Chain A
Amino acid sequence: MEIRREDIEHIADLSMLNLSEEEIETYTKNMQEIVEFANQINELDTENTLVSAFASDAYNVFRKDEVRESLSRDLLLKNAPSSNGEAYALPSME
């Protein structure tokens, strides 16, 4: 199956990435090779095989629903590129 540059542009758009002309070209070529390589797995018959999302058998891990101490707002806002001291600051929505 051929990967076209439009495919890469569409995927980049879904991924919220801007790509330069050069990047689109490189990634189109890379993806063609990688996807061809990945297609090998279609040789295997998995008709009656179940999926494994994880390597472990952990399943529906619950804990008590109780109030606990959490990180302070001031501490968390220290890493924000911009804040008004109480909340993250953003340009208004279009």
Chain B
Amino acid sequence: MNNIIELTASEIRELYDKKEATVPEVTKAFLAHIKEKDSEINAYITVCEEEALKQAEEVQKLMDNGEKLGPMAGIPIAVKDNICTKDIKTTCASKMLENFVSPYDATVVKKLKDEHMIILGKVNMDEFAMGGSTENSAFFKTKNPRNLSKVPGGSSGGSAASIAADMAPIALGSDTGGSIRQPASYCGIVGMKPTYGLVSRYGLVAFASSLDQVGPMSKTVADNANLLNVIAGNDEMDTTSAKVEKKDYTQALVNDVKGLRIGVPKEYFGEGLAIEVKEALEKAIEKYRSLGAVVEEFSLPTTKYALPTYYIIACAEASSNLGRFDGIRYGYRTENYSSLKDIYRNSRSEGFGKEVKRRIILGTYVLSAGYYDAYYKKAQKVRTLIKQGFEEAFEKYDVILTPTAPTTAFDLGSKIEDPLEMYLMDLYTVPINIAGVPAISIPCGTDKEGMPIGMQLIAKHFNEEMLYRFAYTFEQN
């Protein structure tokens, strides 16, 4: 049973159904592999060995009693460390929350537990989800399992790396501007950013509330659909959560795209796109064409404005959201104070890392007197134009196909000193969050160094099924 760790969630479930493995056996296999492998990769901030084993025993008992359990029951999972877990630390990879233990479970975590999934641990990320390489973690850098000198992407780099290194079959990430899709692309796995409002944000530590979404990361499209089934749904604890009918996304795993329409926006294939990424995408487009899809090039002229719009809105919301960290109710408190104001200032200055401070400063700037209209209000208007661009496109196309990122994973340390260059890596992913539409990244080849290339498929609001159908068809052919 040496290869348990290489299995997909569906394959593990099959083992349980055939009684060829027990939940504690599978859980132990992953825990043992984490022990062995993670000293090299550094994906996990917290490993929940004791809790996971206890949970595994309980689920096994239910199975032995012949209880009818969901398809993800007994499947181990890694959870990004900005998603609150009761009694387990939630650090956001920040010194600010290094010792924070949430008094409640995030709604998505409650849903994992209700499904009887096994939480293996909490995984690394860029501090407060700000970054695209996981190098902004206050604790350590995670490495790309495909090549240890490369970044795993970010901010959900720990989630992607844990899957790519077989240290979890499946994981939860969060995506504000590409933080699920870009690491999925860099590590060669499947990552879905659902429609804004499909998955509850209650218990997700807020970065940019109008853009944040929790989503599934997995080895296969089928596993991804199964995990979305578990976490999707309206939640009255999140007022931005949508009231939509519960769906079974596995119904969308259909190997057929005949007659369906793909739009390819030419602005996503311009300057800055690595030639090998472009070639891999062209091959993918040819494959869809040969499978009977209708492909057409078109123009999304607002594309170039998405990145500046994103950084204005995201940083403005972050500067406001992070105002809650004051060293009083929870989180880091400075030892160096004599007044209340010292507590605020010194706790924040000592507790936040470089990139977080940079974004608080940018956000405070665009919201400050004299600049509010020129930047923040203007960006919200451009947001309307970007949304309209997508709405018009989806009158003509079932999906929009683009690269996930302009390049494959870059070298550790190569962009960390140049924030603008790092931000440019989000060029193709941020427009999706601004418009609130769903998008999936799936592997579509490798470059000459063997690093994975990701393809992004985008659909209209609440049409995750269309993405799964296209992704599944690509994967099966």
Contacts and interface: CB of A to CB of B under 8 A. Distances in A.
Interface of A: 7-8, 11-12, 14-19, 23, 27, 30-31, 33-35, 37-44, 46, 49-56, 58, 61, 63, 71, 75-76, 78-82, 88, 90-91, 93-94
Contact of B420 (A12, A33, A53, A80): A33
B358 interface: yes
Contacts of B349: 17-19
Nearest to B307: A37
B374 A34 contact: no
Nearest to A92: B340
A16 B328 contact: no
Nearest to A82: B333
B311 A38 contact: yes
A34 B210 CA distance: 21
A52 B352 CA distance: 30
Nearest to A50: B384
A36 to B, nearest CB: 9
A89 to B, nearest CB: 9
B374 A91 contact: no
B298 interface: no
B143 interface: no
Given A46-B382, A51-B384, A14 B328 contact: no
Contacts of A31: 361-362, 365
Nearest to A48: B381
B364 A14 contact: yes
A56 B360 contact: no
A51 B380 contact: yes
A56 B436 contact: yes
- Across chains A and B, which 6 residue pairs bring their CB atoms closest together, nearest first? A55-B436, A81-B333, A79-B330, A51-B380, A46-B381, A61-B239
Nearest to A61: B239
Given A11-B368, A82-B333, A46 B387 contact: no
B87 to A, nearest CB: 10
Interface in B354-376: 354, 357-358, 360-362, 364-366, 368, 374-375
Main secondary structure of the interface of B (DSSP, over half): helix
Contact of A41 (B210, B308, B331, B364): B308
Interface stretch (B51-59, B69-77, B98-106, B249-257): B98-106
B158 interface: no
Nearest to B100: A79
B103 A71 contact: yes
Contact of A51 (B331, B340, B381, B436): B381
6 contacts: A11-B365, A15-B360, A38-B311, A53-B380, A55-B433, A79-B100
B349 to A, nearest CB: 4
Nearest to A10: B368
Contact of A38 (B368, B375, B437): B375
B244 to A, nearest CB: 11
Interface of B: 100-101, 103-104, 196-197, 210-211, 236, 239-240, 242, 302, 304-305, 307-309, 311-312, 319, 326-333, 337-341, 343-346, 348-349, 352, 354, 357-358, 360-362, 364-366, 368, 374-375, 377-385, 387, 419-420, 423, 433-437, 461
A42 B326 CA distance: 35
Given A8-B361, A31-B362, A53 B210 contact: yes
Contact of A91 (B311, B338, B420): B338
Nearest to B387: A52
B308 A37 contact: yes
B379 A56 contact: no
A56 B212 CA distance: 12
A4 B222 CA distance: 53
A56 B340 contact: no
Given A40-B305, A52-B383, A79-B329, 14 more contacts: A11-B368, A16-B341, A16-B344, A18-B345, A31-B365, A38-B308, A41-B312, A43-B305, A49-B382, A49-B385, A58-B242, A75-B103, A91-B343, A94-B340
A81 B328 contact: yes
Given A17-B345, A34-B362, A76 B239 contact: no
B338 A80 contact: no
B434 A90 contact: no
A82 B347 CA distance: 13
A52 B308 CA distance: 16
Contacts of A18: 345-346, 349
A17 B309 contact: no
A42 B385 CA distance: 13
A53 to B, nearest CB: 6
A31 B420 CA distance: 10
Nearest to B380: A51
A52 B436 CA distance: 11
